[in-house]
Structure 1
Amino acid sequence: MGASPADQASIPEGTEQIFVMSQNISDSLKEDLAWATYILLRNTNTIAVLISIRGELCARGYWNIPEEVSKTNLLAWFRRQMEMIGLENIKDTLYFPQSSDSVLWEMLPKGTRSLLVEPVLQVPNSGANQMEKIEGFVLLASGMSYAYSDKDRAWIGALANKFGGAV
């Protein structure tokens, strides 16, 4: 774990560096989202991060944003992409360590080779007669095949679990 900038794949062509976040959330959650996206980009082979917690979004990194989407409409664009893909109901970790250009997922940077999506689940207190509740997800894209080792995925999963009771 801990890719140095020299190890990371080059910035994909046709992408734009962004950092956007829902505004109607607590300051502490804003800080947690900003920190989490930064540390994921810095310490893994990730070029793009999207975190969704109870419908609130934070996107950071290099994304394939259509020219007609203005900066003020970025969050709405991400929401539409998520709805089309069906990401809001993910219960299990999805890891695609080796894929060709992902034409199915318009929002991913061109040249994405690895994709990891970790669910954010709220686990009920022990003894409670409740099911796990889906709170959101953490999505990471990399321009490298097999970008996330077992150790990376465990660390990313632990980070996703941090958001399991947030907001």
Structure 2
Amino acid sequence: MIQQIDDATGRLLATVGRLTDEEVRGPSLLPGWTRGHVLAHVARGGDALRNLLVWARTGVETQAYTSREARDEAIEAGSGRPAAEHVKDIAGSAEAFGSEVAAMPDGSWGFQLSVPGIPTFPADGVLTRRLVELELHHTDLDAGYHPSDWPSSFTELDLPEPMRSQRDERLAW
């Protein structure tokens, strides 16, 4: 799945690299969010999932976000940046996430993580969550990437809820 995440990140970065600053400020398919909001969310989401891997690796509780308010503020603060800065931010977040994945000992992937509002899941579920976030939010940009562009390895992936319903929702668009 790590290769799928890397490939999805590459596709997203290629799309963002073609966007103008004006297009980044334009609407996404998510109500009330610009493309910049979606891109900031993808970068901060990578950071949040990396935090969960740190928790699994070290056993020291490290929540995805310090709070819902901090998450929302970080997305809002990053949403208005130029396209090139979004590319750098997403690439940097992806690199840090990948480094944490590489640092994970085999025995840590079963560590049970707890995130408010989500049933407890093993650390290896972070990989699925990252892939889903990349593919769905790439589509949400409304920048030429559609569910028909998703690789079959993603469309055929058996996803837990709510990720399955979120993917199905995009397929219906």
Band the TM-score falls in, shorter-chain normalisation: under 0.3
Higher helix share: 2
TM-score by length of 1: 0.24
Higher strand share: 1
